[in-house]
């Protein structure tokens, strides 16, 4: 996952350092220095969480880097007078953005990920000395009133593997929901990537992921999340026993016949509601695969199909959205990078002019030189100012990127939720087709047996066994149908939720982007207009 905030910070460090090291005497320069040395907003300040969109929420600890004091004056009076824009003007400052409203409803007021540390894994390591891994400190503050008892704030240490586990647990327990996707695993050798940079990226990604989980109306209240955020000590690794122990709650077991002659271990219907995984589910996978093939290629329609046209429409719209979001979010990224480049080069230009000014001033012999040096200095200062404004502009514009990325993630989550539905349906279809087979066999046996005088004891015994199997299979089928309906309902609810929220989020994203660009462009324009005015005599003198 791209973490552009981090990359912005790293890229501009050298230019900033250079500018700080130049000793300029006037106030503008020192002003420039202090603001340049403050860090980018998203790196550190966890107080940003309550209003992630409204990152400019006035708070004493936020640096002047975040909110240029005259921002309001420059942006909002002209736009208000020109367009009659309502007091929605200070949009970026108020907590009124839809996203923050949702965040406020979450059980967790604030989740922050910080303090990465390297630890050594000692046990079961083949490498002498042990391998290392990174842990992160996760601090959570609870919304007062959301929990009956317990501390208002807690911290735990977690490693990335724990996050993967959490994601897997949620995927199992919340089928049909649009679960925000977790950050990517590290596919690249961590020695190739700059360790520091990578850890910074990951820290940010984790923070975003946890916050999005917390904002989800259902998942935000889940036990799995709560355990992850609160339980002290190391989290256990997932094993099959955990899954099995959960299954023990329901006692119904399927007879071995369901899995053919190969008597696998006893499985419970709860297993049915999980998608078939590897290992002992191998036979079930084969069966469902066969069913899927029959569905696709067989001339006969299975008895239960996805008939919900509305769903199919919405699913296609979701796929459309995914298709367009990918290039859109890439181009948005590229746009911000280009803007960043302009700002950086402007800064480099300003630096070069500052050095030229110093040089001319030191070597002044003629009066024209002195004037030139003064001219160069004003241009240099303006260029540095403009460069700083570009940086601020981009720090805010990066939030635009966030929304596009977020919804791209959601379309992927939706895909997963839809495939939950498909596999649940497949299970139902498989069971129904099994039942059909079984019933046919019973019919055949009964017919054959009735031809023998007195009945065929062995055949009748078989029939009894089969009927028992049928009964159990019917139970499993009911279970599977219930599950399927449940997932369908989840899909529908999530689609409704997404539609509602997407409209608001996109609108607020566009508005924020536009206002941001307008505000900063106006400031940059005024910086240069002053210089143009001051140097206008050179154009005038020659006309």
Partner 1 sequence: MGESATSFTSTWTQIRCPSSPPAVDLSGDGMISPETSPPRSSSQSPRSPSAAPFLSISVTDPVKLGNGVQAYISYRVITRTNLPEFQGPEKIVIRRYSDFVWLHDRLAEKYKGIFIPPLPEKSAVEKFRFSAEFIEMRRQALDIFINRIASHPELKQSEDLRTFLQEDEETMERARSQETGIFKKPADLIQIFKDVQTKVSDVVLGKEKPVEETDPDYEKLKHYIFGLEDHLAETQKQAFRLVKRHKELGQSLSDFGKAIKLLGACEGNSLGKVFSELGAKSELLSIKLQKEAHNLLMNFEEPLKDYVRAVQSIKVTFADRANAFRQHCELAETTKLKEINLDKLNLMRSDKVREAEMEYRELKAESEQATRRFETIVRLMNEEIVRFQEQKTADMGLAFHQFAKGQAKLANDIADAWRSVLPKIEACSVSSQHG
- Residues 323-342 within binding reach of partner 1 (CB under 8 A): 324-325, 327-328, 330-332, 334-335, 337-339, 341-342
Placement of tokens 């907590």 in the chain? 95
Residue nearer to partner 1 on the CB measure, 325 or 438? 325
Q: Provide the strand spans (E) within 426-468.
A: none
Q: How many Cα atoms are found within 13 Å in the side-chain-facing hemisphere of 195?
A: 7
Residue nearer to partner 1 on the CB measure, 10 or 506? 506
> Is 447 exposed, middle or buried (CB count within 10 Å of its CB: 0-12, 13-18, 19+)?
exposed
Instruction: Find the binding residues for partner 1 in span 192-231 (CB under 8 A).
Output: none
**Of positions 348, 446, 472, 501, contacts partner 1 by CB under 8 A:** 348
Instruction: Find the binding residues for partner 1 in span 360-399 (CB under 8 A).
Output: 360, 363, 365-372, 374-376, 379, 382, 386
Residue nearer to partner 1 on the CB measure, 376 or 427? 376
DSSP 278: S
Residue nearer to partner 1 on the CB measure, 173 or 518? 518
Cα–Cα distance, 508 to 373 (Å, whole number): 46
Element housing 231 (H / E): none
**Of positions 22, 96, 356, 435, contacts partner 1 by CB under 8 A:** 356
Is 489 a binding residue for partner 1 by CB under 8 A? The answer is no
Placement of tokens 């939030």 in the chain? 399
Is 359 a binding residue for partner 1 by CB under 8 A? The answer is yes
Instruction: Find the binding residues for partner 1 in span 294-313 (CB under 8 A).
Output: none
Q: Provide the strand spans (E) within 295-401.
A: none
Residue nearer to partner 1 on the CB measure, 456 or 504? 504
**Of positions 153, 306, 320, 443, contacts partner 1 by CB under 8 A:** 320
Q: Give how far Cα 529 sits from Cα of 295, 385, 481, 523, Å.
A: 69, 13, 70, 10
DSSP 69: T
Report in angstroms how near the CB of residue 128 gets to partner 1 at its nearest. 50
Tokens of 30: 């020192």
Q: Which residues contact 513 (CB under 8 A, 6 or more apart)?
A: 397, 400
Tokens of 403: 């929304």
Is 161 a binding residue for partner 1 by CB under 8 A? The answer is no
Cα–Cα distance, 203 to 65 (Å, whole number): 22
Residue nearer to partner 1 on the CB measure, 149 or 368? 368
Find the radius of gyration of the CA atoms of the chain. Answer: 32
Assess contact for 212 and 125: CB atoms under 8 A.
no
Closest CA to 404 of 332, 474, 460: 332
Binding-residue total with partner 1 (CB under 8 A): 76
Report in angstroms how near the CB of residue 26 gets to partner 1 at its nearest. 14
Residue nearer to partner 1 on the CB measure, 108 or 407? 407
Report in angstroms how near the CB of residue 184 gets to partner 1 at its nearest. 23
Assess contact for 107 and 220: CB atoms under 8 A.
yes
Is 157 a binding residue for partner 1 by CB under 8 A? The answer is no
Residue nearer to partner 1 on the CB measure, 331 or 437? 331
Cα–Cα distance, 38 to 391 (Å, whole number): 12
**Of positions 44, 352, 447, 448, contacts partner 1 by CB under 8 A:** 352
Report in angstroms how near the CB of residue 19 gets to partner 1 at its nearest. 13
Residue nearer to partner 1 on the CB measure, 400 or 442? 400
Instruction: Find the binding residues for partner 1 in span 64-103 (CB under 8 A).
Output: 79, 82-83, 85-86, 88
Is 511 a binding residue for partner 1 by CB under 8 A? The answer is yes
């Amino acid at each position: 996952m791209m973490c552009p905030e981090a990359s912005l910070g790293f890229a501009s460090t050298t230019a900033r350092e250079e500018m700080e090291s130049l000793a300029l005497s006037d106030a503008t320069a020192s002003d420039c220095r202090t603001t340049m040395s403050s860090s980018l907003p998203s790196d550190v300040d966890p107080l940003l969480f309550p209003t992630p969109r409204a990152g400019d929420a006035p708070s004493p600890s936020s640096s002047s880097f975040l909110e240029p004091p005259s921002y309001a004056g420059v942006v909002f009076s002209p736009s208000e007078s020109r367009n009659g824009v309502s007091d929605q003007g200070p949009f970026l400052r108020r907590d009124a953005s839809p996203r923050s409203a949702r965040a406020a409803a979450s059980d967790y007021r604030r989740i922050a990920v910080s303090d990465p540390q390297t630890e050594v894994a000692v046990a079961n390591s083949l490498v002498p000395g042990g391998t290392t891994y990174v842990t992160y400190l996760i601090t959570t503050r609870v919304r007062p009133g959301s929990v009956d008892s317990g501390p208002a704030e807690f911290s735990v240490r977690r490693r990335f593997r724990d996050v993967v586990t959490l994601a897997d647990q949620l995927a199992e327990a919340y089928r049909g929901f649009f679960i925000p996707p977790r950050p990517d695993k590290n596919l690249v050798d961590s020695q190739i990537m700059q360790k520091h940079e990578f850890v910074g990226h990951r820290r940010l990604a984790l923070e975003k992921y946890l916050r999005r989980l917390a904002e989800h109306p259902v998942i935000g209240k889940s036990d799995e999340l709560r355990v992850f955020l609160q339980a002290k000590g190391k989290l256990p690794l997932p094993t099959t026993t955990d899954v099995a122990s959960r299954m023990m709650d329901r006692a119904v077991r399927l007879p071995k016949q369901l899995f053919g002659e190969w008597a696998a271990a006893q499985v419970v219907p709860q297993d049915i509601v999980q998608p078939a995984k590897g290992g002992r589910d191998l036979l079930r996978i084969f069966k469902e695969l066969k069913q899927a093939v029959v569905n696709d290629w067989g001339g006969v329609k299975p008895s239960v199909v996805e008939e919900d046209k509305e769903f199919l429409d919405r699913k296609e719209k979701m796929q459309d959205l995914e298709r367009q979001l990918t290039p859109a979010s890439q181009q948005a990224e590229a746009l911000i990078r280009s803007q960043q480049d302009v700002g950086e080069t402007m800064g480099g230009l300003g630096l070069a002019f500052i050095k030229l000014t110093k040089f001319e001033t030191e070597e002044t012999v003629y009066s024209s030189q002195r004037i030139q040096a003064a001219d160069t200095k004003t241009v240099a200062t303006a260029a540095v100012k403009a460069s700083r404004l570009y940086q601020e502009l981009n720090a805010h514009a990066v939030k635009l990127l966030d929304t596009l990325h977020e919804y791209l993630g959601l379309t992927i989550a939706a895909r997963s939720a839809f495939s939950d539905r498909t596999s649940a349906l497949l299970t139902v279809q498989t069971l129904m087709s099994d039942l059909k087979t079984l019933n046919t066999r019973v019919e055949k046996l009964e017919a054959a047996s009735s031809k023998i005088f007195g009945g065929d004891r062995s055949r009748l015994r078989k029939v009894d066994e089969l009927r028992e199997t049928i009964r159990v299979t019917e139970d499993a089928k009911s279970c599977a149908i219930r599950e399927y309906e449940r997932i369908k309902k989840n899909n529908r609810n999530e689609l409704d939720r997404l539609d509602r929220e997407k409209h608001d989020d996109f609108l607020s994203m566009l508005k924020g982007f536009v206002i941001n660009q307008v505000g900063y462009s106006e400031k940059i324009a005024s910086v240069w207009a002053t210089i143009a005015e001051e140097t206008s005599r050179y154009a005038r003198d020659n006309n």
